[in-house]
Amino acid sequence: MRIIRAKDYDKLSKKAASIIASQVILNPESVLGLATGSTPIGTYRELVRMYNEGIISFKDIITFNLDEYYGLDKGDKQSYSYFMYDKLFNYIDISKNNINIPNGKTDDIQRECHGYENKIKKSGGIDLQLLGIGKNGHIGFNEPDLKFEALTHLVKLDKETIDSNSRFFSSIEEVPKMAISMGIKTIMHSKKIILLASGEEKGKVIYEMIYGKITPKLPASVLQLHPDVTVIVDKEAGYML
Ligand code: GLP
């Protein structure tokens, strides 16, 4: 694992966006895996800036998002689909047909999950996957478990995740209890991975992810086995390193 320490959140966002931008410049038809949560917001802001300055174009880029809440329509303001349009897609030249996000409103979970996996495969696989990390070590919505769940699947969210994500909802009751998420194998098949962490509350999990035992109880620890992972932390998230 390559560890990059950024001075603050702004620098972290700029470094992450620069790595994504170089991927897009080197291969304008790249397949990008994208993440939600508060951590990548600054990265998306930087990518929009670079697009506006004519440094990068997303015209032929394909994207796959990691996850989506089960039961939320894509137009729902709390959905990850809404988030992605609001933070990135509405401001760049990506073709709508190239945007892939699991359908949280599917009436056939099996078909949705298989279909998502097949689409990733057909597109040639993910060239660069952006990740955040949950305080409990989740990546995407792969929660701590007794085994690694391989492929895109329906997940029951942990109480800790529901609590933590309730800050985006008006009440905790509104937070969906389930989600559709890429699996660990799906993520591990990406050619390159960047994981971002900001803030002191992520410090312990980042330390355990890098130096601890590889275990499904801390899903992100599996990244130790991936050949090309870059972890970008700000000062606070890197305090134990
Ligand atoms: C959510 C997402 C994850 C994300 C995590 C951390 O649960 N499913 O992909 O990494 O939150 O979010 P934040 O960046 O807001 O701490």
How many angstroms separate the CA atoms of 166 and 148, rounded? 25
How far, in Å, CA of 223 to CA of 47, rounded?
25
Say what the pLDDT of residue 116 is: 98
Cβ count near 114 (within 10 Å) = 13
Beta-ladder partners of 69: 179
- Phi, psi of 99, rounded to the nearest 5 degrees: -95, 125
Residue 224 near residue 188 (C-beta atoms within 8 A): no
Mean pLDDT, residues 76-96 taken together:
97
Q: Give the residue, out of 41, 43, 80, 133, with the most ligand 1 atoms within 8 A of its beta carbon, to mutate for a pocket test.
A: 133
Domain boundaries, the chain: 2-233
What is the reported pTM?
0.97
- Confidence class for position 69, pLDDT limits 50, 70, 90: very high
Residue 53, SS3? coil
Report the relative pairing of strands 178-181 and 67-69 from DSSP bridges. antiparallel
pLDDT tens digit string along 90-136?
999 999 999 999 999 999 999 999 999 999 999 999 999 999 999 99
pLDDT at 156: 95
Domain 2-233 carries which CATH code? Answer: 3.40.50.1360
Radius of gyration of the chain (CA): 17
Ligand 1: centre distance to CA 132 (Å): 6
* 97 catalytically annotated: no
* 34, 70, 138, 143: residue to mutate for ligand 1 pocket, most atoms within 8 A of CB: 138
Q: Beta strand pairing status for 99-100 and 128-131?
A: unpaired
Q: What is the pLDDT of residues 27-41, one digit of tens each?
A: 999 999 999 999 999
What is the CA(129)–ligand 1 centre distance, in A? 14
